[in-house]
């Protein structure tokens, strides 16, 4: 097989460019656009566009917004550093040296900086929120396994894309390791690492407890009943838009409502739905402030923010030592949420006698969501959360919405495994 050389740097700077008026008329959203510099009037939302060349584009004058009356209870003073292209290049050159150290030529480093603000105004108040996000994605093609390995990081502070040398080296070493073929057929104990636990929280639980999906899917309504115990008491899963440094953080949602930390699952019991104005009124429950959209061209729908499994009590070593023969799913690759979800790991390792053995060919899990929840047996006492990269939530093709996910290591028993 011939070598295909690919090494590149991709830099994006996102800026606000236009104001769009998002009007709610008879329960439906209609969108019209205003020119740069006009006053806010009615219900507005300002979003950023990905601009490769901003010099010749009309950038909105933020001084106009300063004439608005701020809702001080919601608007917080946020100090953001302005990152220069030169600094981005330095970050790129630093990580590039790690790839060159291993003589890797098939790689890509993508760094994205987003900055600007979003605004919301109705007859009661004007809300303005500064936006700042950093994201970095590493991609390396494995010639020995003919697979692409990717990993992304990011958040609202630049520290989220710095000091990742160990993670980059781990990714490179995996790409250089020949995977072993071991016939895996049937049900096995499985350990998820922090990334996979986050994917589990997002796809298996989060999407199934978004009120619009929960309402429309009658089968889901029957199987995910509020107040039902569906897992071990050690399992707690939350959606939290209030984390200061994560990709899914915001001060108000796209209907102008304050967000909150929501326990989706509490002590193994289904606790609450994610809602917006429409569904909180329909079900007569708390509005969790989860109405979000990726741009003014889409109406806000119920979306997750930072969704994660909370830290448990079990020593991670105990999770591994309890498995004589099983699998370790590490990192994320592909996924689909819903009552019949699909999740695939970036790496899969064989566990023998409580220890990680060898790298295996890719595998996937596709079981009923409620069944998987019931199979969670232990929740680790570690915790990590991840955002950024090329990923994001893609509900109803509104992609990519910035989110973060994570949690501790978790152990599931008797999981049906599919070879890919």
Which residues lie below 8 Å from residue 82, measured CB to CB, with a gap of 6+? 115
pLDDT, tens digit, for every residue of 229-274? Answer: 999 999 999 999 999 899 999 888 888 888 999 999 999 999 999 9
Asked if residues 98 and 120 have their Cβ atoms less than 8 Å apart, the reply is no
pLDDT of residue 338: 84
What's the mean per-residue pLDDT of the chain? 80
* 340-346 CB contacts, 8 Å cutoff, 24+ apart: 340/366, 340/367, 340/368, 340/369, 341/203, 341/204, 341/207, 341/366, 341/367, 341/369, 341/372, 342/366, 343/196, 343/199, 343/200, 343/203, 343/204, 344/420, 345/196, 346/149, 346/150, 346/151, 346/174, 346/195
pLDDT of residue 84: 60
Which residues lie below 8 Å from residue 326, measured CB to CB, with a gap of 6+? 188, 189, 190, 191, 351
pLDDT of residue 69: 29
Residue from 245, 247, 205 nearest 228 by CA: 205
Other beta carbons less than 10 A from residue 382's beta carbon: 17
Q: Residue 70 has which token pair?
A: 């701020």
Task: Please give the model's pTM, rounded to 2 decimal places.
Answer: 0.83
In angstroms, rounded to a whole number, what is the distance separating the alpha carbons of residues 167 and 389? 13
pLDDT, tens digit, for every residue of 10-53? Answer: 544 443 333 333 344 444 434 333 333 333 333 333 332 222 32
pLDDT, tens digit, for every residue of 316-370? Answer: 999 999 999 999 999 999 888 888 898 999 999 999 999 999 999 989 999 999 9
pLDDT, tens digit, for every residue of 383-404? Answer: 999 998 777 898 988 888 999 9
Bridge pairing between strands 186-192 and 325-336: parallel
Q: Burial code of 13-26, b = ≥16 C-beta within 10 A, e = fewer?
A: bbbbbbbebbeeee
Q: Residue 42 has which token pair?
A: 């009615």
pLDDT level of residue 71 (50, 70, 90 thresholds) = very low
State the residue for tokens 């997750």. Answer: 304
In angstroms, rounded to a whole number, what is the distance separating the alpha carbons of residues 176 and 126? 53
Residue from 356, 387, 333, 420 nearest 190 by CA: 356
Query: Residues 387, 376, 260, CA angle at the centre, nearest 5°?
Result: 45
Per-position DSSP letters for 332-348, written without gaps between them: EEEEE-SSS-EEEEEEE
């Amino acid at each position: 097989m011939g070598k295909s050389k690919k090494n590149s740097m991709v830099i994006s700077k996102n800026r606000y460019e236009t104001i769009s008026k998002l009007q709610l008329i008879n329960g439906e959203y209609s969108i019209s656009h205003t020119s740069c510099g006009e006053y806010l009037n009615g219900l507005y939302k300002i979003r950023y566009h990905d601009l490769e060349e901003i010099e010749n584009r009309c950038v909105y004058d933020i001084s106009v917004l300063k004439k608005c009356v701020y809702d001080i209870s919601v608007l917080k003073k946020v100090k953001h550093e302005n990152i220069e292209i030169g600094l981005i290049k330095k970050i790129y050159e630093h990580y590039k040296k790690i790839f060159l150290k291993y003589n890797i030529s098939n790689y890509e480093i993508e760094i994205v900086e987003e900055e600007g603000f979003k605004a919301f105004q109705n007859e009661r108040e004007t809300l303005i929120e500064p936006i700042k996000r950093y994201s970095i994605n590493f991609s390396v093609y494995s010639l020995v396994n003919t697979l692409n390995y990717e990993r992304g990081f990011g958040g609202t502070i630049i520290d989220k894309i710095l000091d990742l040398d160990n993670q980059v080296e781990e990714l490179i070493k995996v790409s250089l390791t020949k995977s072993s073929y071991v016939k895996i057929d049937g049900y096995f104990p499985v350990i998820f690492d922090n990334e996979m636990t986050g994917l589990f929280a997002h796809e298996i639980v989060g999407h199934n407890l978004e009120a619009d999906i929960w309402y429309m899917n009658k089968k889901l309504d029957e199987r995910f009943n509020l107040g039902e115990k569906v897992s071990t008491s050690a399992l707690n899963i939350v959606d939290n838009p209030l984390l200061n440094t994560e990709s899914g953080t915001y001060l108000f949602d796209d209907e102008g409502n304050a967000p909150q930390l929501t326990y989706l699952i509490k002590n193994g019991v289904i606790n609450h739905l994610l809602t917006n104005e429409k569904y909180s009124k329909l079900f007569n429950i708390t509005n969790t402030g989860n109405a979000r959209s990726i741009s003014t061209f889409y109406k806000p729908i119920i979306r997750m923010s930072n969704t994660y499994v909370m830290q448990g009590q079990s020593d991670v070593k105990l999770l591994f030592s309890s498995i004589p023969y099983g699998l370790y799913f590490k990192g994320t690759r592909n996924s689909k949420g819903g009552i019949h979800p699909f999740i695939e790991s970036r790496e899969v390792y064989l566990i023998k006698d409580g220890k990680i053995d060898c790298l295996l060919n890719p595998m996937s899990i596709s079981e009923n969501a409620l069944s998987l929840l019931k199979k969670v047996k232990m929740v680790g006492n570690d915790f990590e959360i991840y955002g950024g990269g090329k990923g994001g939530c893609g509900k109803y093709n509104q992609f990519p919405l910035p989110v973060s996910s994570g949690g501790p290591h978790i152990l599931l028993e008797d999981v049906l495994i599919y070879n890919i």
